Amino acid sequence: MCKRKTLIFTALVLLPLAAATAAAAATLSGTVEATGMRHDGDAVVYVDTIAGAELDPPAEPVQMDQEQMEFIPHVLPVLVGTTVEFLNSDAVLHNVFTPDKCAGRFNLGSWPQGETRSYTFEKPCVAALLCNVHPEMEAFVVAVPTPYFAVSGRDGSYAIEGLPDGEYTVKVWHPKLPETSRSVTVAGDTAADFELKK
């Protein structure tokens, strides 16, 4: 490569990186209090639709496992358009289906250990995932409009990283409590706490 070409090449590679770094600086963090629940975990804190933003789903599928008779994780937020790959890690057959219309009430069938089946979540959706072999198994895929989401830990803490500064509607979904939302101004690292009540 001649010197001039190298320079142009370097500029083309570095400029978008610099722009992305400058735009994605802040962390939104805080706690969720799930009133009346045994712990404060499993809440999905997410940024609602951002007008004009181009948000591509990940190229690779996101995995949900079935291991020791449980879906892992119990709650999986994804950006709309993401493919979720369901793995069976147990030595017994598992099934995955959802009764929820926003995910087309899919039933992926039953499959043995080490195999996967996939589903692409094309719409914003809360899909309860069930296994028709083991009625006690349950999980949730929460397909949301932006990639800015986090699941609260059992202590209620959450952190959404890489959020550009701006004014957002932040929503909090929980498996058993009504959803809440409010507007949050992010200007550098920002704190926001939420309380969920029946």
Q: Are 90 and 70 in contact (CB under 8 A)?
A: no
Q: Does 8 bind Cu ion (CB under 5 A)?
A: no
64 binds Cu ion (CB under 5 A): no
- The verdict on 74 binding Cu ion (CB under 5 A) reads no
Q: Among residues 34, 129, 131, 160, which is the contact residue for Cu ion, using CB under 5 A?
A: 131
Binders of Cu ion among 77-96, rule CB under 5 A? 94
90 vs 175: CA distance, rounded Å: 25
Structure tokens at 54: 């181009």
Using the minimum distance from each CB to Cu ion, give the nearer residue, 67 or 179: 67
| 96 Cβ neighbours under 8 A, 6+ residues apart | 66, 86, 107, 108, 117, 129, 130, 131
Task: Find the part of the chain contacting Cu ion (CB under 5 A) among 27-35, 125-133, 155-163, 180-188.
Answer: 125-133
| Residue whose C-beta lies closest to Cu ion | 131
Among 7, 11, 14, 133, binds Cu ion (CB under 5 A): 133
d(CA 131, CA 137): 6
- Pairing of the two strands 166-173 and 180-186: antiparallel
Which spans of this chain sit near Cu ion (rule: CB under 5 A)? 94, 131, 133-134, 137
